[in-house]
Structures are given as structure tokens and as C-alpha cells.
Amino acid sequence: SERHHPSNERPRRRGDETVELERETAATTTTTRGMMQGGMKSSVKSARSSSMKVPGSCVGGRALARVGRSQGTRGSRGVAMKGTDRDIQIIPSVLPADWANMGQCVADLEAAGVDRIQFDVMDGNFVPNLTFGPEMISACRKYCKTPFETQLMVSQYASEVMLEEYVEATKGPNGEPGVVIVHVEACDHLHRVLNKIRDLGGSPSVALNPHTPAEAVKNVLCDVDHVLVMTVNPGFGGQAYIPTMLDKIREIRAAIVEGGYDVDIEVDGGIKADWTISQCCDAGANCFIAGSGMFAYPTLKEGCDALRAVAKDAQAGKVLAAPETVNA
């Protein structure tokens, strides 16, 4: 008997039956496409959770974005562009701390209500200062449960050779991924390093020095959880904030929203509970690293609360103006 083919069943003349068949075919095609797209999204989500690569996808794939989800519940695209759909996070740097009593310091920071604690790793090569290695970070873990963040201000050789140790030292008390930040200027093969951090169980993130354009990180936004915009040149605490970084923050936030990525923007350098944090927040940042700007308060809790309050005001539209001397 003759094998039937879909083309054999199609009417030969154009009429009511033909139009009806075309409508049914279009509806079936749309449904099938939706199912395929839904299946692909599920596959990407599954692959991300299991650290498997999906051909043609960006795993790190912050492509299933919280930005996109928030737009449906908390506001418009303008809200996402400002970063006001994202939680404020206060992240103290331990540079101003008493290094001989670092365990007590991280315990005090946890009691103050901070969101993460940052360890600034410097090798005396990439930056003109020398701090500490993974052993110090690991030793601090037993004193608190607050998530850690390690910024590797080190040469490419140091970051690649010791990357596993830093990722391990930065993990949470139960092995949760800690934030490990590498500088774009110190990595010839940035994708490789970021993917290795993810594979080792860390949260890959990237930092840019003040002179580095935003363009340098746009091709890795799908591989990172955070982008850190340096608002001073790294190496020493207590430096003056560089206000011209605001345009860079806006450009990166726009690229994150355009790509639909779930990525936080951090700023580090000269951040205080004044116009500096306010304007960075208004530009699209939501994570704020403060060293002397927090430790200068009578108590760490006062410093943390002050920083958070100014940032939340900025998200609500109450943005502090920069002094006239800065804009002059």
C-alpha cells in the first residue's frame, strides 16, 4: 500500500480547508517551538547546577537572569538598568584590621551584619604591596560563617599556580562557593581562569582597574557572578575615590541587562557612607567594598548600617550630590 506523507494529505486547492490546515500547522509549530525552548532552558539550568557544558550555551550562564525575573515583579527595565532590583551588599575589606588578631576581626564583622568579608591578596608584583596568602584566609574560617571573598591582586603566574588554594580557602563552612575575583589585566586567558574557578567550586568574578575600559569584560559577563569596578588604583587602603568611574558602572550595568545576565556589580576604593556610595549605587552598583570607610566608625555595626542606609536611599531615588569641588 502507498505510504502516506504529510504533503500527500495537503489539499490541492486554496479554500476554507486549506486556510484551516495552515492555521493548525502554525499553532502546532508555535507549540513545538515553545516546548523546545522550554526544554533548552531546563537543560541550561540543569547543566549549570551540575557544572556541565551545554553546546552553544554560556554556562557560568548567568543567562537565566534574576534581572529578567525581577522585571516582571518589581518594576521596569529602568529599574534593572539602575540595579535597584538587586540586594544591597556591604562587604568590608580586612586591610585596616589588626592582622595579629584577624580571627577576632572577622567574628566582629559578622556580628556587625556584613554580607561578605573581603580579603585583598597582594603579591608585591601586580600591585606595590604585600599582604597574605590562602593560609591566613583558611585560618579565619573557623571564627565565622559569613561568606568570604578573595580579590587576587596578583600576577598571572601567582593566580594560576595558587588558584586552587585560594578557591578552597574562600569556601564557606560547609563548602559553599566563595567569591574569587581575578583582575582582567592579570589574565591572558581570562575565560580559562574563570571556568577553572567554577570547576573548582568557587564563584568566579572579575575586576577592572580604573584605566581599564568596560569593554574588557563584556565577553565574560556570561561566565561571572560579579564584576568589580575599582574606584581607586589597587594596592593600598585609604585612597581617594575616583568619580569618573560612574560611566563605566553604567556601561557594565547596561550590558548585563541587555544580555539578561544575573551579575552583581561591586565597587571598591574610597567608598564611604556619603555621596560616593550613593552615586555608585545610582549608576548601577549594588555591592560595596569598604575598608577605612567602615572601620572609621566607633563600632563596625555603625559603619555597616550607615553604608547600607545611604545605598538603600539611593536605590529609592534619594541620591546624594557630589561636592562642587569634585565636579569642578
**Model confidence pLDDT, tens digit, residues 220-264:** 999 999 999 999 887 666 678 889 999 999 999 999 999 999 999
Residue 132 exposed, middle or buried by CB count within 10 Å (0-12, 13-18, 19+): middle
Residue 120 is among the residues annotated as catalytic for this protein? yes
Please answer whether residues 78 and 253 qualify as being in contact, where contact means their C-beta atoms are separated by less than 8 angstroms.
Answer: no
Q: How confident is the model at residue 171 (pLDDT cuts 50, 70, 90)?
A: very high
Please answer whether residues 285 and 83 qualify as being in contact, where contact means their C-beta atoms are separated by less than 8 angstroms.
Answer: yes
Residues 73 and 44: their CA atoms lie apart, in Å, by: 23
Strands (E), 123-217: 148-153, 179-183, 203-208
Q: pLDDT digits over 108-135, tens only?
A: 999 999 999 999 999 999 999 999 999 9
Highest mean pLDDT among 18-32, 43-57, 265-279 belongs to 265-279
Spatial CA neighbour of 67 closest among 280, 302, 261 = 261
Q: Which of 85, 262, 264, 268 is catalytic?
A: 268
Output 296-299 pairs: Cβ under 8 A, ≥24 positions apart.
Answer: 299/112
Residue with cell 567594598: 289
pLDDT of residue 73: 31
Q: How confident is the model at residue 9 (pLDDT cuts 50, 70, 90)?
A: very low
Spatial CA neighbour of 265 closest among 279, 283, 278 = 283
pLDDT of residue 235: 66
Three-class DSSP category at 144? coil
Please answer whether residues 230 and 193 qualify as being in contact, where contact means their C-beta atoms are separated by less than 8 angstroms.
Answer: no
The kind and range of the H/E element at 67 are helix 66-74
Q: What's the predicted TM-score (pTM) here? A: 0.78
Residues 312 and 309: their CA atoms lie apart, in Å, by: 5
Q: Cβ of 147: how many Cβ atoms within 10 Å?
A: 20
The kind and range of the H/E element at 182 are strand 179-183
Spatial CA neighbour of 306 closest among 318, 315, 314, 297 = 297
Cell numbers that stand for 175 in this block: 563548602
Question: Would you state the torsion angle of the CA atoms of residues 157, 163, 166, 170, taken in this order, to the nearest 10 degrees?
Answer: 140
Residues 118 and 138: their CA atoms lie apart, in Å, by: 13
Among 8-17, 171-180, 190-199, which is the least confidently predicted range?
8-17
Residues 6+ apart with CB under 8 A from 208: 183, 184, 185, 214, 216, 217, 227, 228, 229, 230, 248
Spatial CA neighbour of 209 closest among 179, 194, 187, 178 = 187
Cell numbers that stand for 264 in this block: 552583581
Q: Which of 120, 225, 262, 264 is catalytic?
A: 120
Residues 146 and 187: their CA atoms lie apart, in Å, by: 28
- Amino acid, single-letter form, for residue 111: A
Angle at CA of residue 204, ends 201 and 206, nearest 5°? 165
With a cut of 90, say whether residue 18 has pLDDT above it: no
pLDDT of residue 238: 66
Residue 223 is among the residues annotated as catalytic for this protein? no
pLDDT of residue 15: 43
